[in-house]
Amino acid sequence: MMTSDFTISVIITTFNRCDLVKRAVRSVLAQSHPADEIVIIDDGSSDGTENVVRPYASKVRYIWKENQGISTARNLGIQETSGAWVTFLDVDDEWHPAKLEKQVSALKENPEHRICYTNEIWIRRGRRVNPKKLHQKFGGHIFEHCLPLCIISPSSVIIHRDVFDRFGLFDPILPACEDYDMWLRICAFLPVLYLEEPLITKYGGHEDQLSRKYWGMDRFRIYALEKIIENPDLEPTKKTAAIRMLLEKIDVYLAGAQKRSKQEEVALYQSKRDTYSALLDYSG
């Protein structure tokens, strides 16, 4: 049964984005349903971020840590907060004023849900763009919809703290696609509540985005898929779907590795492909 405690913790993560952090903080402070606590986890910024957030010190707690990546930043935020419900805001995103109010209302009407996310508006290099069909979002049991790519934006989520007790925190091994890994682990077993109304704005096109920083992003998704496939509690039909997607992503990654003459990578991922192809044949 859902707890009646709707205390909300907001975790804002940032790294050398002093020019954006003020907008993110203001969007949280402008919520029609106020958060109970707000913490900024600064993952090792050296650009004066602390000075930018100092005027909000009475309302926002600021924590600086050595740079170790987005997973460790979010995990520290989870550990440093106490609200029954946890929310995230990546510093380059912005909440709409009614985000928390509408999510809390929806969760109270659907008390069986432990996680809720929303639609979003995309801005790329200052212009609004429409998501492609592959980015379409769904509610309910959405595990198979989560396999191709991450359809849940962390900045749109509100999630009950006990979900992390059950499924664990963000995987610090992953420098990117850590959200893809998290949502696979959760959505394999829990339904999600989805609000069609866009309640966040995502700003993209930055030169330092993780998707630009790392070549072969599918290798991180392959790692996440291998993890969920190895989960002994995963239903057989979901396991089969995950293996099929894993093979697709291995093929994409192999093509890139071959093009770049990364022979050790080619050998490793060809071996993975052989292993999972055999497992798929065995499972039917």
Go through the chain and tell me how many residues it has: 284
Hey, what are 152's tokens? 């849940």
- CA-nearest of 177, 172, 155, 161 to 115 is 161
Question: What pLDDT score does 137 carry?
Answer: 96
Contact 120, 156 (CB under 8 A): yes
Rounded Cα distance, 38 and 10, in Å: 5
Select from 12, 159, 153, 35 the least CA-distant residue to 85: 159
CA-based angle 11:12:17, to the nearest 5? 165
User: What pLDDT, on the 0 to 100 scale, is given for residue 207?
Assistant: 56
CB 174 within 8 A of CB 220: yes
> What Rg value do the Cα atoms of the chain yield, rounded?
19
- Residue ranges in the chain modelled with pLDDT below 50: 1-2
At 60, list the tokens: 């926002």
How does the average pLDDT of the chain come out, rounded? 93
**Amino acid 250: pLDDT:** 96
Assign 3-state DSSP to the chain and report helix, strand, coil percentages, each to 5. Answer: 45, 20, 35
